[in-house]
Amino acid sequence: MLSGLQNITKVPELKKRILVTCGLLIVYRIGVYIPTPGIDNQALSAIFASQSGTLFGMIDMFSGGALSRFSIFTLGIMPYISASIILQLLTVVIPQLEKLSKEGELGRRKITQYTRYGTILLSIIQGMGIAVGLESVGGAGSSSVVYQPGWGFRLMTVLTLTSGTAFIMWLGEQITERGIGNGISLIIFAGIVARFPSGLVRTATLIRTGEMSLFIGLLILALMVGVVGLIIFFERAHRKIPVQYARRIVGRRVYGGQSTHLPLKVNTAGVIPPIFASSILLFPATLASFIKHPVTKSISDYLTPGGWAYETIYVAFIIFFCYFYTAVTFNPVDVADNMKKYGGFVPGIRPGKKTAEYIDKILTRITLGGALYVSVICVLPSIMISRFNVPFYFGGTGLLIVVGVAMDTIQQIESHLITRHYEGFLKKGQIKGRRT
């Protein structure tokens, strides 16, 4: 596969797309280190350093370290994801939005525009909540981490954080349009990967100083490799439904009469459910953690990673979004109608409604297995942190996103190479499906 990567440079369009993607991701990583004005960053970093492995550590992972530095990209891409979730839920409920989503490219552009508006609105709300909360956070010597509290600081923070989120949203759209892969997913991917080296260095330091045994370190490494293998296995697993096409005579030509199959992925939703679930849990928990009130404090305590309440709600949200996103992206009725239109049928199943019910029944069963697999992978970090005191947010959601995004990006690269007939790369690098 590595030798086949040389063929990428022989495709000018693909080479340009990869360079554009890398350049925009570098711009994103540079922005993570640009601080928000009016904050004592050293005092704030010391506070967040004591919060690793908690809610703030998880938020910091998704923002690529922007939260601990309180940079202009502190909010990250989470407001955009939250707005997308809300709009998709409203599409199912509101007939006008459902009709708009079926109007093709024009409808999708309109929905994208609504998502942008929702992103800005959520960014303003979260930015104001964070600004107000920071004014009550004490640094060294019980002094505030904010140099000059007041409405000037609040408005400046809201404007800075909202602009940062809007810029990240624009970067993601540019990567999707002009680069390779899904821009939003790659931004999250870059943020998580950027934190892996520092986590490995801290782990090695703990082993060298004797605070962590070498056996535990090797066990963590073995578990990481095992989790990656498990993710690859399930992400490529699919169920094949046999499909037979009847013969059709059009003029002097004979069409159909062939056997094929309809592949249904075990995890059709991919990495979207844990991202959606995390964003929903992080939004109220973030606001509650900054507002000093007994009710909000209890909410923040309940929604802290590692607690039974958080893990239970997290798993429930993952299972829900696995089914929800699968239902949004895959419609058995449309698939059955298209098969019937072109003379296709499942052996032993009547075309049309019966075929749609059969496909939906199989999809419901395998989605349950995929949802349970994603849930197990995503709660693994909390177990590792509580049992072995891992100094960085290991495995689980992070590895699922990294491996899933990497595989999707490689598939898109292979698709570009297929159009150029670089079979030498494809024979060695093609990702094959696995039948369950």
1-5: list long-range contacts, CB under 8 Å, 24+ apart: 1/425, 1/428, 1/429, 3/424, 3/428, 4/422, 4/424, 4/425, 4/426, 4/427, 4/428, 4/429, 5/425, 5/429
pLDDT band at 304 (very low <50, low <70, confident <90, very high): low
pLDDT band (50, 70, 90) for residue 362:
very high
pLDDT mean over 349-378? 89
194 pLDDT higher than 60: yes
Half-sphere exposure of 230 toward its Cβ, with a 13 Å CA cutoff?
A: 19
Q: Which helix (H) or strand (E) holds 70?
A: none
d(CA 94, CA 407): 35
Query: Which pLDDT belongs to residue 216?
Result: 76
Residue 133: CATH number of its domain = 1.10.3370.10
Most confident by average pLDDT, 62-66, 71-75, 168-172, 406-410? 168-172
Confidence of residue 390 (pLDDT cuts 50, 70, 90): low
3-state helix, strand, coil in the chain (%, to 5): 70, 5, 20
Most confident range, picked from 22-31, 196-205, 276-285, 299-308: 22-31
What's residue 436's pLDDT?
47
pTM, entire model: 0.75
Across the range 271-291, mean pLDDT stands at: 70
Cα dihedral 12→14→19→24 (10° resolution): 140
Nearest to 31 by CA among 164, 178, 183: 164
Instruction: Read off the pLDDT of residues 227-255 as tens digits, 9 standing for 90 and up.
Output: 888 888 888 888 888 888 776 666 666 65
Query: At which residue do the structure tokens 């900054």 appear?
Result: 290
Give the three-class secondary structure for 346: coil
| Arithmetic mean of pLDDT, 97-108 | 79
Q: Which residue range forms the structural domain that includes residue 130?
A: 4-435
What pLDDT band is residue 53 in, cutting at 50, 70 and 90? Answer: very low
Tally of structural domains, the chain: 1
